[in-house]
Every structure is written in C-alpha cells, then in structure tokens.
Structure 1
Amino acid sequence: MSAALLEVRDLGISFGGVRAVDGISFDLHRGELLALIGPNGAGKSTTFNMVGGQLRASGGSVRMAEHDLIGMKPRAIWRLGVGRTFQIAATFASFTVAENVQMAVLSHHRQVFALWRPAADRFRAQALALLEQVGMRAQADRPCSELAYGDIKRVELAMALANDPRLLLMDEPTAGMAPRERNELMALTKRLVVERGMAVLFTEHSMDVVFAHADRVIVLARGKLIAEGTPEAIRNHPKVQEVYFGSGTTFEHLPQPAFAGRMSA
C-alpha cells in the first residue's frame, strides 16, 4: 500500500485531569473513506477537532505529507488542502447556491475581502462545475433559504471541495437527514473520493451509513482505540458490540437500507 496521506500517532489530550483521548494511532490513505465511530463520550469529536486544529493535542503527532498539524491554526491547515464540513451545515441563507460556492472559491484564491458586486461573476464557472459534481447545478440560482436540508448539505460539500482538498473532514455529515438522503450523500462522497483521489475521515452515528460506505472503520471507547478494520469485521467484533449494546444484542438487529449489504473491502 502507498504511503499514508494522514498519519496519527499516540494522539492524546486531557481536560481537568480527565484523559479524553488516550494515545490513539491510525493512518488514512488517498482514495479511502475512513469512519470514526464510538458511543457517546468516546472521544470522537475531540479526536476530530485535534486533527482539524480546533483543539491542540497535549501529546502525539498528526502528520499530513511533510507537515505536522499539531499547533497549526484551522485556517493554516485548510491552506494545506484540508477541507471540512460540519454537523450543522453552514451556508449564507440569503445568497444563492452559486454565490455560496463562489465565496468558498474566492476564499481559496484569497480574494474573499473583494467587494461582492464586482466579484459577482468571478469564478462562477468554477462554482457551477463544483455544483455539477454534487448534483446541484440546476439549483444554482436559488437562494439557499429555499433548499431542503439534504440539498444544503450538498452545497456545503461543494463549498468544501472549492479548496481542492487532499483530505476532507466530515463531522456527522448525515445528521438530521432521512435514510435515503444520507445514503445518497455518502454514495456521492465515495464517488468523489475515487474520482479526486482524496481521503475522507468522517464521524457518524448512523451505522447503516458506516457499514454501507466506509472502506475502513476505527472505533473509540473511553478515549481509547479498541478496534480497527473493514465494516464487516467491525460489525462482528465482540468488543465493539459490547461497548455499543452490552451483551445479547448485535448490529444485525439494526434496520438496514436496501443496499447496506454492499460493504467495501
């Protein structure tokens, strides 16, 4: 296998004497969709925010190519080619779909402080191309305030792609979405991962999404990494089942979408 795009080694952080994340390590490669899961309080969001620069780790390293991300500001990490989407989608409701993506492209080109009116036609073609990739080209001139939530998440994805990221961090990308919408969004994300050769690290509570779309899964519990492997291996992992359900229950009891049996190797 080729060298990892992202290397996390012995990552840890404490809050008031509580070890929230305790020495976890994992790799992420180009063309890979890696899910980070765990029960509430496992340390998922904390890990995610240390990788993205929102929190500074107290120990360990996060390396992308030749860069150590520990101590870098989120903006500097973004400049290295790390995109991000958030659990609550962040768009300008009064702007059109295209204008939202244009703002992201302007930021990528360091022109975000240009007056908006003279910049209204700048990078429109690039914005429309990004919207085409996420299936939102036909909605380009609609205000974001008129969109369904699932479509807003697609716009947010187009905005994240404006930076041409090598690594995309997706925090609960399908939160608040119906089952069909969330599986369509992650199928789209998987296609873009392959086409662009980028890598995606995502946190997710919906196990149907994880098992249907992730290439690999890492599982945290009480700040420690307890399992890593393919979706099939994680689905059947006794310790993972124990931390999620206790005894007597497995992931097979969860409702599955029609195509959830397709799992990446």
Structure 2
Amino acid sequence: MSLLKVTGLGKSFGGVKAVDGIDFELHAGELLALIGPNGAGKSTTFNMVNGQLQANSGSILLDGVELVGLQPREIWRLGVGRTFQIAETFASLTVVENVQMALLSADRKLFSFWRKAADYKRTQALDLLDKVGMAEQADRPCSVLAYGDVKRVELAIAMANAPKLLLMDEPTAGMAPKERNELMALTKKLVVERNMAVLFTEHSMDVVFAYADRMIVLARGRLIAQGRPEEIRAHPKVQEVYFGSGKTFEKERKQMESV
C-alpha cells in the first residue's frame, strides 16, 4: 500500500491551470524526485501536499487520511515534515534550542516564561542532531553556522515529529557540490533507517539522478513521465521538453547529459 497517493490533483489561478489532474504514489523507504522546467507546476504541487495551497480538485491521501482541506499545522501533526529552499531556523537561538522548539511544537506544548525551552527534551534534541552530524555544534548560535550546517539543522528540525513523509523543497539550493552530496547521502541514510518517504524538488540533475529512487516529471501542469532515473533519462517526452526548445532548458540539458 502506498504511503502517499495523489489522484486527479488540480489547481487553477484564474483561468490558468497550474496543475492539471496529476496522479502519483509514493512508498515508505523511497525518495521521489519531482522535476520539470520553470512553470511546470512543481511548487504548486508541492505546496498542495503540504497544505500551503488548497487544491481545486483531486485527492491527497497519507496513509488513507485525506489531506486536502487541512492546514499545514494539521498535516505536520499527521507526520509530514518539511524543509525549505531557503533554510528556516531561529538565528538567535542555539542549534539545540532550534530542535527543542520543534519538539515543543510536535508535542503541542506551549512555551511558558517560567520554563526555558532549553530544559525540554534536550537529550532527544541532541540525538536528532547526532543523526545529522551536528551534535558537536549543539550550543552554538545558528547565526554563526556555515550554510551547509544550517541545512543540516533544518533537517533535524524537520525530523522532530518523527515524520512518515518528508517534503524537501530544493534541499541543495545554494550549496557547493560536496555539501549537496553529503546532505543527500545523509537524507538517503535516514530514509532507510526510519523507513520514511521523501518527496523532493530539485534543479540539480546530478543530485536527482544520483539519489532519487523514482522521478515524476511535470510540464505545463501535467505529468508527462514517471519512472526510475534510467527510464526518465531515455523517455521521449522528457527529452522533448528538456532538449527540444532551443536554449530554454540548456542548463538542465547539460546536467542530464553529464549524469
């Protein structure tokens, strides 16, 4: 049984169909890449799964529970974590305090002025930081971290609610090649260890082809292909979209040819 099942998903803005009736499934223990040229509908699809946008049509089932109509906070509590293209952390807090705040949220605990967040589940927070290689920097403020380390902290934060499904929006944006590979290798390791699923968007084709178990490709709001990386690389519609429009997708074309 699929962990995530998307059926007939659609979203329009005025008269424009940003996403036009797409279907896909995602299983536990799997990394699924959502790719496509600019304007394909990737972000719209991603944000509908997370509840930041409400679908006009279709269904999004997580373990049989309908997500359409729910708010992001409700979806988080059902076991969906998320990282963002621009890392979201509290720069004024320490690394461990950032994770502790996420644990407070996951446990529905209100912050009280007489009880410091630093007293709450520090051991659990440190364990999460150890999983992402950041335990030794636990007491440093996030404001002084290198960007690649901030991304690791964000991943620990996203894991605070023990997600079944992790949504990663451009996880390697702004990172050097070595950092990109380290972050995705770490994500792959966590997927296997925790038997969770990951849906991620990504522009770096080297990352996509190296780490995705399967891929879905959108173009102009429609799903044009899905399958394993080797199938997508050889798919005629994908080749037409990426290779057949002059210089529009030149960057993606070069990346795909290099992997």
TM-score calculated relative to the size of structure 2 = 0.94
- The C-alpha deviation readout for 1:29-70, integer Å capped at 9, x for no partner, is 000000000000000000001111011111110001121000
Aligned-partner Cα distance in 2 for 1:208–1:256: 10
Q: Deviations over 1:179-202 (max 9, x none)?
A: 111111011001100100100000
Query: For 2:111, which of 102, 110, 113 is the aligned residue?
Result: 113
Are 2:184 and 1:186 aligned?
A: yes
SS of 2:86's equivalent in the other structure is coil
The answer to whether the Cα contact below 8 Å between 1:208 and 1:256 also exists between their aligned partners in 2 is no
Distance in 2, Cα, partners of 1:53 & 1:107: 17
Please give the alpha-carbon distance, in whole angstroms, between the structure 1 residues aligned to 2:116 and 2:137: 23
Question: What is the CA–CA distance in structure 2 between the aligned matches of 1:256 and 1:143, rounded to whole Å?
Answer: 41
Change (3 A) 1:251 1:66: closer
Shift of 1:232: 1.2
CA shift in 2, pair 1:251/1:230, >3 Å: farther
**What is the aligned partner in structure 2 of residue 208 from structure 1?**
206
State how far apart, in whole Å, the 2-side matches of 1:194 and 1:47 are. 25
Q: Deviations over 1:48-106 (max 9, x none)?
A: 01111011111110001121000000100111000011111110111110010011011
Q: Distance in 1 between matches of 2:231 and 2:53?
A: 31
| 1:67-146 matches, cutoff 5 A | 67-115=65-113, 117-146=115-144
Q: How does 1:199-238 map to 2 (within 5 A)?
A: 199-238=197-236
Structure 2 CA distance for aligned equivalents of residues 190 and 119 of structure 1: 30
The alignment of Structure 1 onto Structure 2 pairs a total of residues equal to: 256
Q: What amino acid is aligned across from residue 196 of structure 2 in structure 1?
A: M
Instruction: Assess if the C-alpha contact under 8 Å between 2:100 and 2:117 holds in 1.
Output: no
Deviates more, 1:206-215 or 1:105-114: 105-114
Q: Helix, strand or coil: the match of 2:119? A: coil
The answer for unaligned runs of 5 or more in structure 2 is none
User: Which amino acid is 2:120 matched to?
Assistant: R
1:45 corresponds to which residue? Answer: 43
RMSD: 1.8
Q: Match of 1:166?
A: 164
SS of aligned partner of 1:42: coil
Aligned to 1:254: 255
Query: For residues 39 and 88 of structure 1, do their structure 2 counterparts lie closer, same or farther at Cα, with a shift above 3 Å needed?
Result: same
Letter in 2 for 1:239: K
Which of the numbers 64, 80, 83 marks the counterpart of 1:66? 64
| Structure 1 portions without partners, runs of 5+ | 261-265
CA shift, 1:115, in A, is 2.8
Secondary structure at the counterpart of residue 203 of structure 2: coil
**Cα distance between partner residues in 2 of 1:250 and 1:157:** 28
Which amino acid in structure 1 is aligned with residue 255 of structure 2? L
Pick one of 9, 12, 15 that aligns with 1:17: 15
Greater CA drift, 217-226 or 180-189: 180-189
SS of the residue corresponding to residue 28 of structure 2 reads coil
The whole-number CA distance in structure 2 between the counterparts of 1:251 and 1:233 is: 17
**1:241–1:251 contact (8 Å) kept in structure 2:** no
TM-score, normalization by structure 1: 0.92
In the alignment, which residue of structure 2 is the partner of 1:263? none
Q: Offset of 1:256 from its aligned partner? A: 8.3
Structure 1: distance between partners of 2:98 and 2:253? 41
SS of the residue corresponding to residue 254 of structure 1 reads helix
Runs (4 or more) in structure 1 with deviation over 4 Å come to 247-252
CA contact (8 A) 2:242 2:253 kept: no
Structure-1 separation of matches of 2:257 and 2:81 = 30
Find the residue that maps to 2:117 and give its secondary structure.
coil
Give the structure with the higher percent helix: 2
